[in-house]
Amino acid sequence: MSFSRWARGAVQPSHELLDSFYNDAFNRGIHLNQIKTQLYEEDLPPGKLLLFHGSKSRIDGPLKTDASRLNNDFGQGFYCGERLDQAAMFVHGFPRSCLYMLSASTAGLKGIRFTVDQDWMLSIALFRGQLNAYADHPRLLELKARVLCADFVVAPIADNRMYEVIDSFIDGELTDEQCRHCLSATNLGSQYVLRTQRSIERTSLLECCFLCSAEKRHYGALRIESSRSGPNKAKAARRLYRGVGQYIEEVLA
């Protein structure tokens, strides 16, 4: 009876009741959010992207580009991932976190795309305020202008482990080649950063998905597994490419 009333929208279930329902399904091997992802992907019109946004709590009101911090990877913007697990792993530790599925189009928009390369490393360090000593360097000014003129940015996702590697490059402890191979070893996929109102207007919220406690534990375990394998790969890359490439003072000479 309760489920049919929820489905009709007659009542709004509590967080505890939703958690119980989703937990039961997840523990039976019915991963509802994965099923929703598959259904949305099958129905997505040509030219549309399915993106995911993990939030510590529900989003109130319309999407905004200025709700994030200034010192994010590419400044302020609405940050999304290309996979459900990416977004879920970043917010699994928050008690009221949820996952948003979005439909987006980049048609007619100006975009910039990065790979795990020197420009990506420098851009992240620049927007996170780690290259103030080189702020007037022509290379950095050009990179900053390209990002600020873009409606959206597509780039590899960086987490705390990657920031530590980039810090080592900026501090002169690693060459760019060591840094690049270390970062490639801990690749988490790509993020989409919607930077302008034009990009937001081409993005629609499809659904706010509930993350139950069992699903959060699942993604927490995946995050731990990834954090264990990544550093070992990074250490191997440090040794293998020692002395190969340029240090930061050579890159920005």
CA distance 128 to 126: 5
> Can you give the length of the chain in residues?
253
Question: Can you give the residue range of the structural domain that contains 148?
Answer: 14-157+187-223
**Considering the domain boundaries, does residue 251 fall inside one?**
no
**Considering the domain boundaries, does residue 75 fall inside one?**
yes
**Considering the domain boundaries, does residue 47 fall inside one?**
yes
With 0-12 CB in 10 A as exposed, 13-18 as middle and 19+ as buried, what is 26? buried
Q: Is the dihedral of CA 243, 248, 252, 253 positive or negative?
A: negative
**Considering the domain boundaries, does residue 107 fall inside one?**
yes
Q: What predicted TM-score, i.e. pTM, was given to this entire model?
A: 0.87
Q: What is residue 111's DSSP assignment?
A: E
pLDDT in tens, the chain (253 residues): 456 666 556 667 788 888 888 899 999 999 999 999 999 999 998 889 999 999 888 888 889 888 777 888 999 999 999 999 989 988 988 888 889 999 999 999 999 999 999 999 999 999 999 999 998 999 999 999 999 999 999 999 887 778 888 898 999 988 999 888 888 776 668 999 999 999 999 999 999 999 999 999 999 888 877 766 556 666 777 788 888 889 999 999 8
**Considering the domain boundaries, does residue 32 fall inside one?**
yes
CATH code of the domain containing 215: 3.90.228
Number of domains in the chain: 1
**Considering the domain boundaries, does residue 164 fall inside one?**
no
